[in-house]
Structure 1
Amino acid sequence: MQVKSLTPILNVSDMDQSFEWFEKLGWAKAWEWGEPVSFGGIRSGECQIFLCHDAQGGRGRGSASTTFGPGGDSISDKGVWMTLWVDDVDEVYRQCLVQHIEITWSPTDMPWNVREMHLRHPDGHVFRVSSAK
């Protein structure tokens, strides 16, 4: 098999809230479908993610406020985990602070040679925002 593209699908509880959350990160709504809207897509450059209202996968926030480190919990969130590769993790961190996006792991130089931070979507999906060191 030769894969040409990959599009994750996130189960979300509120389509409008999810579109708005991703727009705060700089993603754009690519399309929406249904009345009321039950499926849609967001895009950043060549990357896209589909959003599905109340279907196609799991979701759910864990109780821990951090996803790594002391007191952190990397398994209680029931949503999807994925890594977003960016040029500057610290710039994304500053943008998230301004936009009041939940940060569950501050920018840290990790032993696997990346600088990484974590964000949590309101439905428990965790995004590891990373750049190569």
Structure 2
Amino acid sequence: MKLDLNQLTIQVRDVEASIAFYQKLGLILIVKSLPEYARFVCHGRQTTFSLHRAGPSEASKSTWIYFETQDLDHDVQRLLDRGLEFEELPTDQPWLWREARLKDPDGHQLILYFAGNNRLHPPWRIHEAL
């Protein structure tokens, strides 16, 4: 079996507020079914990301979402200029990715990153994989 991730849905308390946040990040809104649901398409036009309204006790703050960008430092500066606040500005990590971190309105951890070839081919990669 060959699986490919093409859709991710997270639970949020306020779909409309989350739409505004994710549009600031640059995602393209393709479905808006308020107050319950919204769906975006990511830059490569192959992956979709959606929001589903959850009750107050259902929204999870343990979700970590990674968005890859080819020009991390420039994109982070653009987002700072749009008023978004980052917990960590672009930093080179020991796993050879450059990452910046912020939270969405529901506290989901977002990591904007650039990994280049190291995303799929780090020096410690298992050689039998792929």
Shorter-normalised TM-score: what interval? 0.7 to 0.9
Aligned to 2:74: 91
The change in CA–CA distance for 1:87 and 1:58 in structure 2 (over 3 A counts) is farther
Counterpart of 1:103 in structure 2 is: 86
- Contact 1:27–1:44 (CA under 8 A) maintained in structure 2: yes
Q: What one-letter code is carried by the residue in structure 1 that aligns with 2:28?
A: A
Cα RMSD between the aligned structures? 2.0
The partner residue of 2:64 within 78, 81, 94 is 81
Once the two structures are superposed, the pairs formed by residues 61-76 of structure 1 within 5 Å of their partners are none
- AA at the equivalent of 1:80: T
Map of 1:23-38 to 2, 5 A cutoff? 23-33=23-33, 36-38=34-36
Structure 1 residue identity aligned to 2:38: G
Alignment match, 1:115: 98
| Structure 2 Cα separation of the partners of residues 17 and 82 of structure 1 | 18
Counterpart residue number, 1:44: 42
What is the TM-score when the length of structure 2 is the normalising length? 0.77
Structure 2 vs 1, CA of residues 58 and 105 (structure 1 numbering), >3 Å: closer, same or farther?
farther
Q: 1:124: which partner in 2?
A: 107
Residue 116 of structure 1 deviates from its aligned partner by 0.6
Partner Cα separation in structure 2 for residue 49 and residue 87 of structure 1: 19
Give distance in 1, aligned partners of 2:87 and 2:67: 15
Unaligned runs of 5+ in 2: 117-130
TM-superposed CA distance for 1:6, in Å, is 3.1
Write out per-residue CA displacement over residues 39-69 of structure 1, whole angstroms, 9 at most, x where no aligned residue. 12012222211100116x9535xxxxxxxxx
Give the corresponding residue for 1:74: none
CA distance in 1, matches of 2:84, 2:115: 23
Contact 1:58–1:79 (8 Å) recurs in 2: no
1:17 is matched with which residue? 17
